[in-house]
Amino acid sequence: MRVRLEGVSVTYRQAGAKLLALAPLTVDIPSGQFVAILGASGCGKSTLVRVVAGLQPATSGSVWLDEVRNTRPHPAVGMMFQDATLMGWRTVFDNIALPLELAGASHAAREARLRALLPMLGLEAWANAYPAMLSGGMAQRAALGRVLAQNPRLLLLDEPFGALDAFTREQLRLDLLALWRDMRQTVLMVTHDIHEAVFMADRLLVFSPRPGRLVADIAIDLPRPRQLDMVYDAEFGVYARAARAAMV
């Protein structure tokens, strides 16, 4: 799914005053591209993805999805937040299948979809487990599966690994890239981690501190599939330094 933003800005009202959270942004993201939105906390990254998702209106400008202006949640757009927010009384299977159930899919259709998806998520053996039995990494896999079950053409990720330990984050980055390689959705991933952004993305959109302004648009020309030891390569360091310099 192609994503095009034209002059998108967001202003909040606070104590009677206007607070510019996101300065006007114009950007074009081709279908199938993995884009990391990088910047310090409070620079409007999460606000931007909520606007793209149709969960929050822009103060000005417009969002176009495949040449159609979008102002509300779209059935081909999936969004994953930092917290897994799984329902404790539902099994892993039922948590992941929830969007299909709400869409009216039959039990047979839900089973067929999850039969293909659970092994890809590494959760096949945990289908009947409840969230209290899962590690943080497995809970995030289940949350990702709940989004992917809908077969979204645009995947929005709002710091999905921020609450996890370093080793779990590394593994989930690889898992997500493997899933994306198979499904090839357009991805917009919010992060404040420079190395995560360079490692995951085809392209970095770097924002200034609030009000968030696009200060750099960096193409990442690193080979895929990405490998963990790539972070020690000189070329990786060049991209990381460029991103850091843009954020200062």
Give CA–CA dist 49/29, Å, rounded: 13
> CA of 154: how far to CAs of 30, 189, 217, 228, in Å?
11, 11, 20, 25
For residue range 226-237, list pLDDT tens digits in order: 999 999 999 999
pLDDT of 163 reads: 67
Q: Is the pLDDT of residue 14 over 80?
A: no
Query: Residue 12: helix, strand or coil by DSSP?
Result: strand
Lowest mean pLDDT among 9-13, 91-95, 101-105, 164-168: 164-168
Band (pLDDT 50/70/90 cuts) for residue 35 is very high
Task: Please compute the mean of the pLDDT values over residues 76-96 and round it to a whole number.
Answer: 89
pLDDT of 231 reads: 92
pLDDT of 137 reads: 86
- Range 3-247 has CATH code 3.40.50.300: yes
Domain boundaries of the chain, sorted by first residue: 3-247
pLDDT of 93 reads: 93
φ, ψ of residue 13 in degrees (nearest 5): -100, 130
Q: What is the mean pLDDT of the chain?
A: 90
